[in-house]
Structure 1
Amino acid sequence: MTEDEAVETFYSEERWQNWLTRIEAEELDPENEESARLLLNLQDDAAIAIAKVLTALMEDRIGEERAVEEIRMIRDIVLAEVAFEDEDKLIMIDGVQTSLIPVFYAAEEYVIGGVVEGDISEFIRAAADAEADEDLDAALGYVVQAGTRVIDGEPLDIELIEEIEYGLVAEWVNGLDSLQTALDDPEVVEED
């Protein structure tokens, strides 16, 4: 049995499409708890897939090259443009996609470069400062560095979001929170 045959499929286009089909069929209201839960489950499901890739790597079930390929494949599926006619739903899906961006890059950075030394809260504050200075590349870089620490097991204090102004960094930290939850308990989120 080859390495590829021995390991499960971590994510698929079909799985993502099933979520999108469900969201397209639902009446979504971001203020409604069920709608919010559905979007969070969509986000968590992708984060769980990344957590499973990282776990497979850490348990030596797959190598670094395969891990990077899987992370990139999941990223390509999840970040592909969505064709909804409903503008509000597009905005909601875009929010989920935005939150997951640092999850993919942190996972890839972790596999290729390892854990970045430093303190999560300092990285998040530096990211918020960079966002305030309109340096979004630097802001994302800091959040990605924080993400490598999350993958390494350092706890992310979600209250950090309350300290920073709402914007991209807050959304990105929300994605890292999904990753942390997925790494702590990588149970599959049921689509139904």
Structure 2
Amino acid sequence: MPNSSAQKEHVNNEFYTQKRWNNWINKVKESGFEFKESDEETEKESAIFVYMQDDVILACLKVIAQYERNILSKEDTLDIISQIREIVLEEIDSISEDIDLMIESLQTSLMAAIAACEVYIMDEYDKEAKIDELIKAAVDAEDSEDLQVAMQFIAETGARVIGGEQLPENIFDELPYGLVAEWLDGIDSIAAAMVGADSYKEDDGSGDFEPI
């Protein structure tokens, strides 16, 4: 059955535009990012990708806040989140080997964060399951190469975080490196955004934008 949002014009999206994403890509190009010999140097140089990810997630949270205040309908909220998905997960022309790897990782994390937003809006998740058990189930599913199921568990984890729950402390300490870890990075960014200033809840997304 065709998606109903595809049968009508997209609702106006001022929360996150193509121009905004392009501004970040230009900033990344200008940064000339390269992996350094030390992790500390690399982390410092890679801050722009953190800002980039946080900016997308904050935009998504602003959309959800509008939905929760009954300013946006569920259909329009999902439509805007879908538009943001299309913008930030589009394939990027190669810039450099190191930057390409960072953008790929960034998009992998954002994929999970956006999926979590969609699951939260649709209210299609178990509110009783323990978050650490959801994450373990995601890891097990990844081990079994059932990535669709693994993503569902991580999206449900993210929906729970958007709903106000906390990720377990030191969640990454024993987490094997892989897709689940990268997806969970996007959920962790949601958690970090939600414990900061909550002025985004009153923001309609129409303000001017200038990348950091």
Give the distance between the partners of 1:153 and 1:178, measured in 2 at CA.
14
Give the distance between the partners of 1:174 and 1:101, measured in 2 at CA.
10
TM-score normalised by L of structure 2: 0.81
Partner of 2:30: 25
Partner of 1:49: 59
Unaligned regions of 5+ residues in structure 2, if any?
A: 1-10, 201-208
TM-score normalised by L of structure 1: 0.89
Partner of 2:206: none
Partner of 1:191: 211
Give the distance between the partners of 2:210 and 2:86, measured in 1 at CA.
22
Q: 1:158 to 1:135 in 2, by over 3 A?
A: farther
Partner of 1:16: 21
Q: Say how many residue pairs are matched.
A: 187
Are the counterparts in 2 of residues 48 and 187 from structure 1 also a CA contact under 8 Å? Answer: no
Unaligned regions of 5+ residues in structure 1, if any?
A: none
Larger Rg: 2
Partner of 1:112: 122
Provide the secondary structure at the position in 2 that maps to 1:34.
Answer: helix
Are the counterparts in 1 of residues 34 and 99 from structure 2 also a CA contact under 8 Å? Answer: no
Q: Deviations over 1:103-135 (max 9, x none)?
A: 111111111235422111111111011111221
Aligned-pair RMSD on alpha carbons?
2.0
Q: Percent of aligned positions with the same letter in both sequences?
A: 34
Q: Deviations over 1:56-112 (max 9, x none)?
A: 111112111111011000010000000123122111101000011111111111112
Q: Report which of the two has the higher share of helix.
A: 1
Larger RCO: Structure 1 or Structure 2 (Cα < 8 Å, ≥ 6 residues apart)? 2
Give the distance between the partners of 2:125 and 2:192, measured in 1 at CA.
18
Partner of 1:87: 97
Q: 1:15 to 1:158 in 2, by over 3 A?
A: farther
Quick check: 76-85 or 175-184, which moved more? Answer: 175-184
| 4+ long deviations beyond 4 Å | 186-190
